[in-house]
Amino acid sequence: MELFRFIIFGKVQRVYYRKFVSQALMRKQVRGYIRNLADGTVEVVAESIDDDIDDILQVLRDGSPQSKVDNIVYEAIDSSDLVYDGFEIR
């Protein structure tokens, strides 16, 4: 199990992006969180289990019907200090 931090660029705030992504990732039983950042991007921290990183990326690319994802950057991060229950919107 690995933990990844994703930053999503594009039209992803005020278009229900967080709600759609959180619901899709909950259905896939992914743990982590999603939140808006001050610069207009969205941050997702998610656990990847059994190489499902491609599934997570597809959910992030799809987003909500009103969103438009221009780019996604991600990196593996240390999970030692993160606390979350399921997948949540912050």
Q: Which residues belong to the active site?
A: 18, 36
Whether the CB-CB separation of 90 and 19 falls below 8 Å is answered with: no
What's the burial of 76, exposed, middle or buried (CB within 10 Å: 0-12/13-18/19+)? exposed
d(CA 2, CA 16): 27
